Amino acid sequence: MTKYIFITGGVVSGLGKGITGSSLGVLLKNSGVKVFMQKFDPYLNIDPGTMNPIEHGEVFVTDDGGETDLDLGHYERFIDENLFKVSSTSAGKIYSEALETERLGKYEGKTVQVIPHITNLIKEKIYKAGEKSGADVIISEIGGTVGDIESQPFIEAIRQVRMEKGHENVMFIHVALLPYLRVSGEYKTKPIQHSVKEMLSLGIQPDVIVARTEGIIEDRLKDKISLFCNIPNENVIVCPDADSIYKVPLILKETNLHDIVAKQLQLKLNTLNISDWQKFVENIDASKEEIKIHIVGKYVELSDAYLSVMESLKIAGYDINKKIKFEWVNARHLTKENIQANLEGAIAILVPGGFGESGVEGKILAANYARVNNIPYLGICLGMQIACIEFARNVLNLSDAHTTELDPNTKNPIIDIMEGKDRENIGGTLRLGRYVTDLVEGTLAKELYGTNQAIERHRHRYEFNNDYKEMFEKAGMKFSGIYQEKDLVEIIELPEHKFFIAAQYHPEFTSRPNKPNALFKGFVQAASKNK
Ligand code: GLN
């Protein structure tokens, strides 16, 4: 039978509930437990697909094409499992399902209410995650902070799950801030006490409190939290700030959180073996020498907008004991006149994905700068499309070459819409999720992957236009990865260049600790050599 662990947040948001849950996942998985993760977000958008990356961060894409919250990226990188759509549910999705059911008359004339209709749907998603994944344990994070109006139906639903499944099958872990007051030089437990009181008023007694602190605390504070929050002393876990999120599993290991969980949920654990993870963290600590990577994007105001790209670069860096330093370049501000000043001295340039017009000409200038100056280049999705446009304009002399996303009337639609996809309908009409790319013999792509196929995730609407393939090939571009079924270009490269490769898919979603994605690995190595 599947067991459920719910992670709630207290006092403030941004405490790393996701990292806490994922780290517990690492400990359980490496003790032989099959783990799956899930996130509930209290916002009313159906999914983050149409949300502004500068406000909400990146859209993480699952194998089955779910457009999800960036926390799922952390989950996958930590527990090293591919999650599915059911791993990400917003209040908007739940409400829209309820309203659809109501319109179809399927509630048989009943008054539709938050309790039981919304809470039932939430429970359905929780149980579905159990059935679909076949996991021993589902770790579900409830987004937001306890006490938020929006999260109340979720809290009520998980309370009911505990009633239905019992104490030995359902566990509540409350991650809350234990603030340090610098003026008086002391930690204050009162906010945690209030937050637990809030949970009690909603019918939930947490089983474990993870107190998020700046540093180590005195034992008497643990005693105090234990006494006032009705929690056994050993179930008060102290998790101080870490200089890398990847160290949190090792911090929690020392607290024996996995044993506490196993005891309550009656799980039989094998001896915990996290030597691979330890090795990874040792590599992080050994990565002192810096490598600078220029990222030319348009959402550079919020680095979370490129979270998986950053983590992929870091992971590839640690692999060769190098620390990645990010140089953010706002594509929107790049011009012919200032491109030199902005990219002077760059040893590697990455152009990530993106949508819409702004910043595109700046990105084209950056791809040109990398190509002409023989600087390692990695293009992702839009970053591949603009590399093709740049090549068409400046090598093939097709001066009006463009993507029909931005110039529907161009005479040279190098990048064009796929058949049957509707340009008007923005939400949910993309090529999404997992596709298989066949790698062409004798190419850099094939060498980097070291396999015949690359399985990667997509999130885009436009594709390379095959009418231009021959012209490009004659001028020296290689098409090194193809999605055979529809004959779509997946990877391009320039063999004459030090390292110039770009993919229509998003390689950043498949990097895992100790296992950097092949393109990122190659790119970071090329950057390191180019130093
Ligand atoms: N806007 C482009 C497309 O829809 C690229 C998308 C992306 O970079 N994710 O095809």
* Average pLDDT of the residues of the chain: 95
Residue 405, ligand 1, Cβ within 6 A:
yes
How sure is the predictor about 52, in pLDDT bands with cuts at 50, 70 and 90?
confident
Domains 3-279 and 288-530 agree in fold: yes
Q: Is 462 in the pocket of ligand 1 (CB under 6 A)?
A: yes
Helix 71-79, helix 307-319: angle, nearest 10? 30
381 catalytic? Reply is yes
The CATH class given to the 3-279 domain equals alpha beta
Indicate which atom in ligand 1 lies nearest the CA of residue 415: 10
CA atoms of 414 and 406, how far apart (whole Å): 12
Six token digits for residue 359: 């910043």
Nearest C-alpha to atom 8 of ligand 1 is from which residue? 353
pLDDT at 234: 95
The C-alpha atoms of residue 329 and residue 214 are separated, in whole angstroms, by 32
Q: Which of 381, 402, 460, 493 is catalytic?
A: 381
State which H helix or E strand residue 346 sits in: none
- Dihedral sign, CA of 294, 297, 302, 307? negative
Set 156, 456, 493, 508: catalytic member = 508
pLDDT of 301 reads 87
Ligand 1 contact via 460 beta carbon (within 6 Å): yes
* pLDDT bracket for residue 47 (50, 70, 90): confident
How many angstroms separate the alpha carbon of residue 383 from the centre of ligand 1? 9
Q: Is the CB of 384 under 6 A from ligand 1?
A: no
Q: Tell which atom from ligand 1 comes closest to the C-alpha of 356.
A: 1
Pairing of strands 3-10, 137-142: parallel
Q: Which atom of ligand 1 is nearest to the CA of 355?
A: 1
pLDDT tens string 395-425: 999 999 999 999 999 999 999 986 654 555 4
The reply to whether ligand 1 has any atom less than 6 angstroms from the CB of 459 is yes
Q: What is the pTM (predicted TM-score) of this model? A: 0.95
Contacts of residue 127, Cβ cutoff 8 Å, sequence gap at least 6: none
Token output for 258: 């996995």
Mean pLDDT check: name the lowest of 40-49, 149-158, 316-325, 374-383: 40-49
Ligand 1 pocket member 457 (CB < 6 A): no
pLDDT at 378 over 80: yes
Q: Where are the domains of the chain?
A: 3-279, 288-530
Distance 400 CA to ligand 1 centre (A): 19
Q: Enumerate the known binding-site residues.
A: 13-19, 71, 141, 148-150, 188-193, 224, 242, 354, 382-385, 405, 461
Task: Tell whether omega for the bond before 179 is within 30 degrees of 0, i.e. cis.
Answer: no
Condensed to tens digits (0 to 9), the pLDDT of residues 171-222 reads: 999 999 999 999 999 999 999 999 999 999 999 999 999 999 999 898 999 9
Q: Looking at domain 288-530, which of 3.90.78.10, 3.40.50.300, 3.40.50.880, 3.40.50.40 is its CATH number?
A: 3.40.50.880
Question: pLDDT of 234-270, one tens digit each?
Answer: 999 999 999 999 999 999 999 999 999 999 999 999 9
